[in-house]
Amino acid sequence: MRETGLAGTPGQNVSPTLSRRRVLQLGAAALPALCGARLLAGALTGSGVETARAADATAPADGYDPSAHSWAFAVDTTTCIGCGRCVDACKQENHVPAEPEMNRTWVELHVLNQDGSVRVSAPDGGIRGFPTEETMPEADAADVRDAYFVPRLCMQCENPPCTWVCPVSATYKNADGVVLVDETRCIGCGYCMVACPYGARYMVPAGETTPKGVAGVVDKCTFCYHRITRGQLPACAEVCPTSARIFGDRNDPQSAVSVALNERRVRVMKPGLGTRPRVFYTGLEGEVD
Amino acid sequence: MTRLRDALARRRPTSRRGAVKAFLAGVSIFAVLLVGVVGIAVIVPWVYGEYGFHPEENARTWAALTPQYADTAVCQRCHEPQYAAWKGERHASVSCESCHGPLAEHAATAPVVAPAGSLGIVLPDASLCAICHEKSPAKPAAFAQVDLAEHYAGGECLNCHDSHSADAKKPPEIPHSLARLPECITCHAPAGLKPIPNGHVESSDAACQGCHKRPTAGQ
Amino acid sequence: MSVQVAGRTVSADPRVAVRMIRLEVAGTPRPLKLWFALLTVLCMIGAVGALIALPPGWEVLGTSPTVEWGILITGYVFFAITTSGLCLASSLGTVFGIEMFIPLEKRHAILALLSLITAFGLIALDLHYPIRMVFGAVLSPSPFSPMWWMGVFYGAYLVFLMTEVWSMFTGHWQVHRFACVLSSITAILAPTTLGAVFGVLAARPYWHGAFTPPAMVTAALLSGIALLGIVFALVNRFQLAGWERATTLAIPAIRLLMMIVLPVTMLVLAWQMMFGLYGVVPGLADATKAILVGPLALQFWIIRVGLGLLVPLVLVVRRRSRTPTGLFAASCLVFLGLLADRMIFVSAGQIAPGTAVAGVVSSPWAEYTPSPVEIAIIVGAFAFFALVYTLAERYLPMGEHEGHLVGSFLGSTEHPGGTREEPAEPVLASEPILVSDAVPAPDAVPALDAIPAPSVAPVLDPAGGAL
């Protein structure tokens, strides 16, 4: 058996489908194919998801330069009272699905017992507060060493595992430190959801939409990007009655968060994973995360 | 291994012509790869064009969304009395919308003059007070919290407490003995001897006496 | 106008074609008809489930933010590793030319292609925007994402498999050998990227670690071997094309592979469980406990370990069960055990989350129950796979082809003549099977740049014409 190379030798038409002529023909067909690909790419990548909400008259502050800011969050668990106003405000500000199992931010109750065990609870994410009877019944009062509330949100990590793993580069870290999701590119695979060590992401179910009117993509806390670019606070920080949530620009030494971080001893959650969160906690005990 | 060596040996050129051919083959493969990489770098942006990955554009669409919550400074423009009662008092750390919900649209669209209660804003009731002020071991000890079973149980928070300034007017205690008296409502009817103030519900003795505690000394 | 299908002429005229199909169906033996009917019904169920789950119907899946990857992902992983394992196992024959594994060549390619297509179908149903995946992966690639690499390698693998199958049936042997080598290389790389998808996640201690990619390759090998065992035991049972050589060579070969890979898998699994129980890595102990004594325990001990590893090992080792039937039983059990294993793997990484997810605290374990739609889709996927393969087995020539050299791509070896002489009667009467006497001794093989002697070429012409 004498097989020759793919192109064959002169005079020997071994594989008519793979001759030089065919290869050249394929090459010539590439140009219209690329043009077609361009049109198809435009049609299928879902451009034009502007909704009435997005195309609103109130535009963000002109000249907002993302690289001039470095947004950060400080959470004081010694003052949080677990009222859940933040959870409610976030749901209304950001069109978060009404389902109780989908929250961009939530509050947890951490109960540390004398024997060292920790009980964490978050009824409906804390949106209706933590009724004492339900969450801290009399029965275990003697066993409890300490109990406090821990507000949770996306950590907007400096080294986010979620952006590393997205197969289509749909989630990205902006220059001002906020991690956002490009809803026109997200394929809904959920990889970023399993990659997040803090459980900050959820998939928008059919029947609900993101603030931009899309379903089936991943959504998460954006530090209320549309508010902070206008000089406002995120909704959760705005409504917190006890100043447990402090937000600001670390590039500004006078900002509330810079002052708070300078004055307090803070730590981040799961520091060993190397994610370098931008959300700093005061008052956490060692047993937590 | 001999098989591999034989295969390589067979492919090694045995003549100068063969060597030149092999060299040209290698160079052309490299050239094709180079052209391919450069070509892709040029063609992909052209094909994908403005649909390419530009995070700045997407970030701008996130920034262009409409806020639903306004600032307290906005509320002050129309609601001066409530603002004055609130500012500087114990509830000053609680923003207006923390209790009253998102009001940016209301602030933008409300007419300058509107009858009170005509715009359908949620006026919170006592259940909202309890969410913050119900006593819980998990809340900081310095925070104002009450055990609802013992603190004027059955009474309405807003009967005594002003929601904006958080000032509390203790309900006047029952000044007289209750011995051999009919039900409270007999004398304190809306049109009776001493009318019941607005906001009090006509109800049983127990409800009245939950807040208007009897003096402890004698009856 | 007519169409050539597998050596038969099928008229394109609808009425004639329908009549031919009806005749064909009537001529099918009864058990086979029942088999086809059952598979068709299950495929219909799967199709209905798939239609319901297509965007935007995805809320019918049982997943939640805490357990986002359910049995559809499990099914995808299972079929993806099966397709890699098939090529890995058969590469011993197709690439390295080991005689024992040569009979696996045609069937493994068809099985691998079908398995990969099924895998892609399952993942397309789980993704919310599958078309965007194709475009996004090409036009906004993410080389740091293991899932992107998985897409690249499995996509390339699909191309190589299609080339392999096409060239196998149209007689382009040079292309075929090249495609076999590429497929085999990709068959090792692709499951490692699939393992890396799980292994890079520091947030999921059960999946995390550099060992997950090789463990996935081991599972792939086992799955491929098991599927080949099932198929070749049936080839022997029903005396399908090439069954004599299949019985004498392929079945012992598969048994040998299984005897090697089963103990290795058991050892790997044992160490994984022991590491988990050490309790040093936070979160890993919880996940391991979920498997050993928690909600996954029954599945693990009975199906995965007992039926999936111990019983098959006994069956392939004991002399009395070293029969095609024994291999069939062992392979079926291994296959089932592997499906359970992948389900346990995907679940365990998520049901012990270690943190609240989107506001939901799962204590002690997160809940996940597959919805009826998901179950229907999985059942339909298996039915589709079985149905198309049975059709291929029935209507395509599946005997060994003459496009291989023992010693294959890397150079031919000299045979003490006639290794291919047994069995005495040819496998298919029309097929010239004995290539060995046309293969020259190595020193007679010319250098690459010499013009070959055309006189040897006619030996390749198969007498049958269409193969």
pLDDT at B214: 59
Neighbours of chain C (3+ CB pairs under 8 A): A, B
Question: For residue B143, which residues of chain A lie inside 8 Å, CB to CB?
Answer: 79, 81, 242
Question: For residue B98, which residues of chain A lie inside 8 Å, CB to CB?
Answer: 85, 89, 238-241
Question: Cα distance from B69 to chain A (closest Cα, Å)?
Answer: 7
| Mean pLDDT value of segment A61-84 | 90
Q: Which of C410, C415, C439 to mutate to test the interface with B (most CBs of B within 10 A)?
A: C410
Contact B62 A38 (CB under 8 A): no
pLDDT at C260: 94
pLDDT at A247: 96
Question: For residue B17, which residues of chain C lie inside 8 Å, CB to CB?
Answer: 449
pLDDT at B56: 82
Question: Cα distance from A93 to chain B (closest Cα, Å)?
Answer: 5
B48 part of contact set with chain C, CB < 8 Å: yes
Number of domains in chain B: 1
The 10 Å CB-count burial string (b at 16+, else e) for A196-230 is bbbbbbbbbbeebbbbbebbbbbbbbbbbbbbbbe
By CA distance, what is C136's nearest residue in A? A168
Question: Cα distance from C197 to chain A (closest Cα, Å)?
Answer: 8
Domain ranges across chain A:
68-100+153-289
Cα separation, C46 vs C53, in Å, equals 10
Contact C449 B53 (CB under 8 A): no
Q: How do beta strands A71-76 and C8-11 pair?
A: unpaired
The shortest CB-CB distance from A185 to any of C140, C361, C451 is to C140
Element (H, E) at C140: none
**Upper half-sphere CA count for residue A256 (Cβ side, 13 Å):** 14
Tokens of A37: 């690909």
Q: Is residue B53 part of a domain?
A: yes
pLDDT at B90: 87
By CA distance, what is A236's nearest residue in B? B98
Indicate the pTM of the whole model.
0.81
Q: Is residue B40 part of a domain?
A: yes
Which of residues 90 through 119 in chain A touch B, CB cutoff 8 A? Answer: 92-93, 109, 111
Q: Which of A19, A168, A208 to mutate to test the interface with C (most CBs of C within 10 A)?
A: A168
Question: For residue A215, which residues of chain C lie inside 8 Å, CB to CB?
Answer: 56
Tokens of C99: 């005689």
Q: How confident is the model at residue A275 (pLDDT cuts 50, 70, 90)?
A: very high
Q: How confident is the model at residue C381 (pLDDT cuts 50, 70, 90)?
A: very high
By CA distance, what is A85's nearest residue in B? B98
Q: How confident is the model at residue C399 (pLDDT cuts 50, 70, 90)?
A: confident
pLDDT at A49: 33
Cα separation, C115 vs C50, in Å, equals 17
Query: pLDDT digits over C419-462, tens only?
Result: 343 344 433 434 444 434 444 444 444 444 444 444 443 433 34
The shortest CB-CB distance from A241 to any of B63, B132, B137 is to B132
pLDDT at B108: 82
Give residue C464's identity as a one-letter amino acid code: G
**A132 touches B135 (CB < 8 A):** yes
pLDDT at B152: 77
Task: Give domain A68-100+153-289's CATH number out of 3.20.10.10, 3.30.70.20, 3.40.50.2000, 3.40.920.10.
Answer: 3.30.70.20
Question: Cα distance from C284 to chain A (closest Cα, Å)?
Answer: 14
| Mean pLDDT value of segment C313-342 | 93
Q: Which residues contact C417 (CB under 8 A, 6 or more apart)?
A: C436, C437
Q: Which of A79, A93, A183, A209 to mutate to test the interface with B (most CBs of B within 10 A)?
A: A93
Element (H, E) at A163: helix A161-165
**Rounded to 5°, angle at Cα C165 from C19 and C445:** 130
Q: Is A4 exposed, middle or buried (0-12, 13-18, 19+ CB in 10 A)?
A: middle
Q: How confident is the model at residue A246 (pLDDT cuts 50, 70, 90)?
A: very high
pLDDT at C426: 39
C139 part of contact set with chain B, CB < 8 Å: yes
| Mean pLDDT value of segment A240-263 | 95
**Residue whose pair of structure tokens reads 């809306």 in the numeric block:** B190
**DSSP secondary-structure letter at C8?**
E
- Pick from C192, C198, C212: which is nearest to C269 by CA? C212
User: What is the DSSP annotation of A258-284?
Assistant: HHHHHHS--B-SSGGG----SEEEES-
Contact A191 C58 (CB under 8 A): no
Tokens of C463: 């007498």
Query: pLDDT digits over C257-279, tens only?
Result: 999 999 999 999 999 999 888 87
Inter-CA distances, C407 with B6, C93, C415, Å? 12, 9, 10
Question: For residue A104, which residues of chain C lie inside 8 Å, CB to CB?
Answer: 358
Cα separation, A279 vs A265, in Å, equals 13
> What range defines the domain where residue B25 resides?
2-63
**Residue whose pair of structure tokens reads 């990857």 in the numeric block:** C69
Q: How confident is the model at residue C409 (pLDDT cuts 50, 70, 90)?
A: very low
Contact B11 C448 (CB under 8 A): yes
- Rounded to 5 degrees, what are φ and ψ at B146? -130, 150
Crossing angle between the packed helical segments C173-199 and C105-126, to the nearest 10 degrees: 40
Question: For residue C63, which residues of chain A lie inside 8 Å, CB to CB?
Answer: 190, 203
The shortest CB-CB distance from C361 to any of A9, A108, A217 is to A108
Query: pLDDT digits over B59-110, tens only?
Result: 999 999 999 998 888 888 888 888 888 888 888 899 988 888 888 888 887 6
User: Per-residue pLDDT for C368 more than 70?
Assistant: yes
**Upper half-sphere CA count for residue A247 (Cβ side, 13 Å):** 24
Question: Cα distance from A252 to chain C (closest Cα, Å)?
Answer: 31
Cα separation, C431 vs C463, in Å, equals 7
Tokens of B127: 């259940």
- Pick from C85, C82, C22: which is nearest to C386 by CA? C82
Contact C135 A2 (CB under 8 A): no
Contact A12 C454 (CB under 8 A): yes
The shortest CB-CB distance from B51 to any of A42, A136, A211 is to A42
Question: For residue A125, which residues of chain C lie inside 8 Å, CB to CB?
Answer: 358-360
By CA distance, what is B20's nearest residue in C? C449
Rg, C-alpha atoms of chain A: 26
Query: pLDDT digits over C16-63, tens only?
Result: 888 888 888 888 888 899 999 999 999 999 999 999 887 666 677 888
Distance of CA C466 to the CA centre of its chain: 27
Question: How many other C-beta atoms lie within 10 A of the C-beta of residue A174?
Answer: 21
Contact A168 C133 (CB under 8 A): yes
Contact B71 A232 (CB under 8 A): yes
What is the sign, positive or negative, of the torsion defined by CA atoms of C349, C354, C360, C362?
positive
Q: How confident is the model at residue C413 (pLDDT cuts 50, 70, 90)?
A: very low
User: Per-residue pLDDT for A10 more than 60?
Assistant: no
User: Per-residue pLDDT for C67 more than 70?
Assistant: yes
Cα separation, A282 vs A76, in Å, equals 5
**B212 touches B173 (CB < 8 A):** yes
**DSSP secondary-structure letter at A146?**
E
- Pick from B170, B162, B160: which is nearest to B81 by CA? B162
Q: How confident is the model at residue C5 (pLDDT cuts 50, 70, 90)?
A: low
Cα separation, C407 vs C102, in Å, equals 11
C443 part of contact set with chain B, CB < 8 Å: no
Question: Cα distance from B58 to chain C (closest Cα, Å)?
Answer: 14
Cα separation, A8 vs C262, in Å, equals 46
- Pick from B131, B123, B170: which is nearest to B148 by CA? B131
Question: Cα distance from B74 to chain A (closest Cα, Å)?
Answer: 12
Cα separation, A194 vs A189, in Å, equals 10
Element (H, E) at A202: strand A202-203
Query: Fold for domain C31-395?
Result: Formate dehydrogenase/DMSO reductase fold (1.20.1630)
**B72 touches B95 (CB < 8 A):** yes
Q: Is residue B193 part of a domain?
A: no
**A82 touches A147 (CB < 8 A):** no
User: Per-residue pLDDT for C463 more than 70?
Assistant: no
Higher pLDDT, C243 or C41: C41
- Pick from C277, C348, C366, C354: which is nearest to A289 by CA? C354
Neighbours of chain B (3+ CB pairs under 8 A): A, C
Give residue C208's identity as a one-letter amino acid code: H
Contact C359 A101 (CB under 8 A): yes
Tokens of A91: 């749901």
Give residue C440's identity as a one-letter amino acid code: P
pLDDT at B202: 62
**A280 touches A207 (CB < 8 A):** no
Q: How do beta strands A218-219 and A202-203 pair?
A: antiparallel
Contact B47 A34 (CB under 8 A): yes
Cα separation, A118 vs C256, in Å, equals 51
**C67 touches A202 (CB < 8 A):** no
- Pick from B93, B47, B137: which is nearest to A240 by CA? B93
Question: For residue A199, which residues of chain C lie inside 8 Å, CB to CB?
Answer: 65-66, 353, 355-358
Question: For residue C445, which residues of chain B lie inside 8 Å, CB to CB?
Answer: 10
Task: Please give the share of chain A, as a percent, with pLDDT higher than 90.
Answer: 57
Which of residues 17 through 56 in chain A touch B, CB cutoff 8 A? Answer: 34, 37-38, 41-42, 45, 47, 50, 53-56
Q: How do beta strands A279-282 and A71-76 pair?
A: parallel
Cα separation, C23 vs C242, in Å, equals 26
**Digitized pLDDT (tens) for each residue of chain B, 219 residues in all:** 677 788 777 777 778 888 888 889 899 998 999 888 888 777 665 555 544 566 788 899 999 999 999 888 888 888 888 888 888 888 889 998 888 888 888 888 766 555 565 555 667 777 888 899 999 989 999 999 988 888 877 677 887 888 888 888 887 777 787 778 888 777 777 666 777 776 666 667 777 777 777 555 443
pLDDT at B112: 58
By CA distance, what is A152's nearest residue in C? C359
pLDDT at A277: 96
pLDDT at C448: 43
Which of residues 244 through 283 in chain A touch B, CB cutoff 8 A? Answer: none
Q: Is residue B92 part of a domain?
A: no
Question: Cα distance from B50 to chain A (closest Cα, Å)?
Answer: 9
Cα separation, A284 vs A110, in Å, equals 10
pLDDT at C112: 95
pLDDT at C63: 87
By CA distance, what is A127's nearest residue in B? B131
